Structure 1
């Protein structure tokens, strides 16, 4: 019988990078047969089918993570004490619960200050929540016995932001679903395009990300796209997947600039693998990305992905694909040059993208979970 494990995180569901990673770890632990306690706001239904999994539900007042954080902290501490007394292991996420166990960092609040858009109330809420997350992050990481980071970039950021010794941090990259995100045949690609209503004659680039603030860099992409379309020789359309407070603003801006046919807003989609199989390029000029699961999944699908050089996932790119890395996510001209370079070098980069795709698909979510388990067993 394996020792009990308590995992403390906001969500264990299949949406979002950190939530998907949390789900993968919880599922792997559940399959091992030992007691698994999930202290969280939400968990996926498939986890509840395991008799050894206990969901300790933590309310989220007003559906706001900021209000749910103190409750998650209090309940998590109580279950951490119980689990440690039983000889078990505890793993928390970032600053959500300071415990003397393992901590898995998906995002470093001290590395980036979000720029919320909207009115004064939204701005004030953003500043208050950021200060709260910073305090929790510093306390939690200083108390942790071992810290797991999702990239070397995350490791460097958390060391700089919190002062924890680098020797306490281990890097474990995210895994993937190689059957769900994989290169497709020409026939499968044509079928996907037909199902989506995309003509074969038009090339398509994708942007996948929230439109609630400037972190994902959509503003830079929008202005770069406007310049490219104004030239008349840019035969690529942009499809935008994501929701947020700024979606309608950007839709109106696209219409005002005569780009309604060149930039299409698809909203929230559950068929991202189909979209990736039908597209020609993913563009992610993010201002801060601890890792970048969306880029990772695009590459697994064999799709070239243009991403900011500072994103954690950029560490996985070989030298031959450095042309797909954007130096400055605020540089519209730089993004235009990178997009032109993709069109010019697409054929010669294709083999390198295929090799990277194969490499990324070789580490599954189960492989990632087992690597984390090994770290926690040794040092947590």
Structure 2
């Protein structure tokens, strides 16, 4: 089966959720051609705030230069928005800019771009092929903001994510600490709720796995450049995941933590809008600092363990089956 995957970045360039998805999709279709955008762009586009739109156009241009027929083309968001082809197109929506701008960008510099410009390019892709939402939340956003139907195929987590004895994990990671330990995974910005993590760290020690370069403090252990294959050790070394993000479309960190058998104390966003707190740990209304602390206290006190049924929901077997069936339907 001949497929192509179009994206802004590959996993070696940026280790974000979309890039993890591309990596997983490539395991389903190992012969697929991955086409990404060049990193360097003109200063004019960068200053105007059109870097993603320009790079998406360049990714499409690279695809068109291949001049080949595919059984299916996977397009991440609006990467390759300029593509015209007879090959079946599958548009993967990891989030919507309309939803993101409204829920997490109030008062920020890039909100105008995200609310009014980027959605235009998302809409260009919606009528070209099959639209896939990575969660029920994204499906609702596509319906609400763009009046578009979509099919939900949830993301998945590979089997390398499993529980490792806590003491062993801490020893291998050189964490010389035996008390309660939380883990935060992601960018250290307000959207991801790191301001709340910083406040919580005054009461409990937290290990922070992030691409951002920060200095460790007495209660925040910073780890950068962590390999994907080492993440199960980090989750297993912790007693809970703290994830106070103000906007998520899905939430890989949540899924990975659950697969590793640790509870999550997280915002009601992404996949957690459609999961019961009793199955994962504690789900808190966005920005409720007291709620996060109560959730942490509860999962530690009760030695909470996430539901194994929820963990199976994010299996790679299910992910592979659904995408293989989708391609067979449209090819």
Please indicate the TM-score interval, normalised by the length of the shorter structure: 0.7 to 0.9
1:279 to 238, 243, 246: 238
1:242 to 197, 202, 210: 210
Task: Look up the match of 2:223.
Answer: 266
Task: Look up the match of 1:329.
Answer: 286
Gap change, CA 1:89 and 1:330, over 3 Å in 2: same
Gap change, CA 1:313 and 1:342, over 3 Å in 2: same
Give the TM-score taking structure 1 as reference length.
0.72
Find the residue that maps to 1:11 and give its secondary structure: coil
Q: Deviations over 1:329-367 (max 9, x none)?
A: 211122222222223332xx32xx152465246x21x64
User: Are the aligned partners of 1:300 and 1:360 in contact in 2 as well (CA < 8 Å)?
Assistant: no
User: Are the aligned partners of 1:224 and 1:333 in contact in 2 as well (CA < 8 Å)?
Assistant: no
Task: Look up the match of 1:10.
Answer: 8
Find the residue that maps to 1:12 and give its secondary structure: coil
2:97 to 109, 116, 139: 109
Find the residue that maps to 1:324 and give its secondary structure: strand
Larger Rg: 1
Cα distance, 1:200 vs. partner? 5.1
Task: Look up the match of 1:54.
Answer: none
Task: Look up the match of 2:143.
Answer: 159
Task: Look up the match of 1:183.
Answer: 163
Q: Distance in 1 between matches of 2:222 and 2:187?
A: 12
Q: Distance in 1 between matches of 2:224 and 2:105?
A: 21
Cα distance, 1:321 vs. partner? 3.0
Give me the CA root mean square deviation: 3.2
Q: Distance in 2 between matches of 1:106 and 1:304?
A: 24
Q: Distance in 2 between matches of 1:342 and 1:243?
A: 27
User: Are the aligned partners of 1:207 and 1:241 in contact in 2 as well (CA < 8 Å)?
Assistant: yes
Alignment partner of 1:293 is 2:291: no
User: Are the aligned partners of 2:35 and 2:62 in contact in 1 as well (CA < 8 Å)?
Assistant: no
Which runs of 5 or more structure 2 residues have no equivalent in the other structure? Answer: none
Find the residue that maps to 2:95 and give its secondary structure: coil
Which runs of 5 or more structure 1 residues have no equivalent in the other structure? Answer: 42-57, 118-122, 230-235, 252-259
Q: Relative contact order, CA 8 A, sep 6+: which one is greater?
A: 1
Cα distance, 1:151 vs. partner? 0.7
Cα distance, 1:20 vs. partner? 1.3
Find the residue that maps to 1:288 and give its secondary structure: coil
Gap change, CA 1:354 and 1:66, over 3 Å in 2: same
